[in-house]
Structure 1
Amino acid sequence: MDWYSTVFETIDMRSFSNLWFWIALAVLWSSTSHYVLGVPWDMVLRAQKHGGDEAARGAAMEDMNAMVQIQIRRILYITRESGLMLTGIICFILTAAVLLGWVYGREFAQAIFLLGVPMAGVWLLSIRTARQIDAAALTGEPLIKRLFRHRLTVQVIGMVSIFVTAMWGMYQNMSVSALGG
């Protein structure tokens, strides 16, 4: 047996039966849910409820406001400077994944598509939220409310994405085992 065959026999290249794919899916959505517009969620929570200590709460709120402003400027800059090019590249990759996955039956491309489409939706939602926060110059409690709403929407997208991916993965695994291979 040659090296190439040994590696691909050891590492199952079928995505939906591979434990690493499911771990990557869980880490992807966990990270996406934790970093709201690039701001760690614990920072938002610390700013919202830092006990009765007003000095500590004020410092936490200042830090959160500064971090959100930095991340919003970063997101809007990337959108302005590279938005059209990124849109074209992402659309190309997702179209290639659809064609390879469903026309040519490649599981890996299906997995990339099922990871990529919801993340593209989250990116668009993040741009929209960043623009809204920037336009309204939100700080303090209104900003926290907006971040809560954004995070909830991201979590709903994540739950739907995980559900659809799990259903498609189970279907694929059952189809392969029914065919005997």
Structure 2
Amino acid sequence: MDWYTSVFELIDMRSFSNLWFWVALAVLWSSASHWVLGVPWDMVLRAGRVGGQPAADMETMVRINSERILYITRESGVLMTGFAGFVLTFLFLVGFVYGREFAQAVFLLGTPMALVWLLSVGTAGRVQRQELSDAALIKQLTRLRFYIRLIGMASIFVTATWGMWQNMSSSALGG
């Protein structure tokens, strides 16, 4: 038995039984809830607590990132939406109709992130339209982070439930 075979017997390379998939899921949602509109959450907290220059820095970052998000959306929003819809539909069909676990895993990562992107675009537009600043801006970012965390919790629950089902099904079938 060679090294390659030993490693693949030791580490199950299917998505839902692979430790690296769960690490990636945790990192994905940790990052999504930490970076709200491209601004680190600790910067938002510091801006609310201290005010002054930290608040001005946060507002500048939000303004820059909001403009960037809206520019991307204006320039290629229809194309991105169509492509994302195609990819997610493809992953759904390959994963759930044809039973490919990798496609299921990527679909369960990508679909909630598409929702996060839509929420971020909406929030960026609201920040720019209403010219939010100070406490109103922090409140809007807090609300966005809350919704991102709700989506993340639901996503982790659904993914963990589906992953356990897949793992139990494959072990019941003998591999």
Judge same fold: TM > 0.5, yes or no. yes
Q: TM-score range by the shorter chain?
A: over 0.9
| Aligned residues of 1:98 and 1:113 also touching (Cα < 8 A) | yes
TM-score by length of 1: 0.91
Q: CA deviation at 1:169?
A: 0.4
Matched, 1:32 2:32: yes
Larger mean CA deviation between 4-13 and 57-66 belongs to 4-13
Matched, 1:106 2:113: no
Q: CA deviation at 1:103?
A: 1.3
Q: CA deviation at 1:81?
A: 0.5
Matched, 1:149 2:148: no
How much identity, in percent, do the aligned residues show? 66
Q: Distance in 2 between matches of 1:92 and 1:4?
A: 36
Q: Distance in 2 between matches of 1:30 and 1:142?
A: 24
Q: Distance in 2 between matches of 1:166 and 1:64?
A: 35
Alignment partner, residue 165 of structure 2: 171
Aligned residue for 1:105, secondary structure, equals coil
Q: 1:71 to 1:176 in 2, by over 3 A?
A: same
Q: 1:2 to 1:82 in 2, by over 3 A?
A: farther
Alignment partner, residue 125 of structure 2: 131
TM-score by length of 2: 0.94
Q: Distance in 2 between matches of 1:135 and 1:4?
A: 57
Structure 1 consecutive aligned stretches of length 4 or more whose deviation exceeds 4 Å: 1-11
Q: 1:115 aligns with which of 109, 112, 125?
A: 109
| Aligned residues of 1:34 and 1:41 also touching (Cα < 8 A) | yes
| Aligned residues of 1:13 and 1:108 also touching (Cα < 8 A) | no
Q: 2:80 aligns with which of 73, 86, 104?
A: 86
Alignment partner, residue 160 of structure 1: 154
| Aligned residues of 1:48 and 1:141 also touching (Cα < 8 A) | yes
Q: CA deviation at 1:99?
A: 1.1
Q: Which sections of structure 1, spanning at least 5 residues, go unmatched?
A: 51-56
